[in-house]
Amino acid sequence: MHAAPGALIAKMGADGVQAIGLPGLGLGLAVKIADGHPRAAVCATVAILRRLGVFAELPAVLEPWAQPQLLNARGLVVGAMHAVTSLSAA
């Protein structure tokens, strides 16, 4: 679990679940990835936070998670992951 005072609280769970609390905005969100891969959960979470306007500019520490590179067994880049988001109020 990671916390940035006043900004957000994040917790990665099992099977591709990511939960985020945004105390300053009074919001919370949960992301579940069907195949359970955590890399996809973090990528989707960063995209949702951007779409919500949580970041004026994406922090450098999150850049690798926004569009993670996909590597083959030899460590060569063979692709990248991009999140497509759609938000609705529950």
**28-42 pLDDT, tens per residue?**
988 888 888 888 888
| CA atoms of 5 and 38, how far apart (whole Å) | 24
> 1 pLDDT exceeds 50?
no
**Are the CB atoms for 43 and 81 separated by under 8 Å?**
yes
In a domain, 75, yes or no: yes
CA–CA gap between residue 29 and residue 60 (Å, rounded): 22
Q: What is the per-residue pLDDT across 44-78, written as a single tens digit (0 to 9) for each?
A: 888 988 888 888 888 888 888 889 999 999 999 99
Domain annotation covers residue 85: no
d(CA 46, CA 75): 24
Print the domain residue range for 19: 2-80
User: Is 44 inside any structural domain?
Assistant: yes
In a domain, 16, yes or no: yes
Residue 89 domain flag: no
Classify residue 29 by burial, with Cβ atoms within 10 Å: 0-12, 13-18, 19+: middle
Domain count, the chain: 1
Write down the pTM of the prediction: 0.76
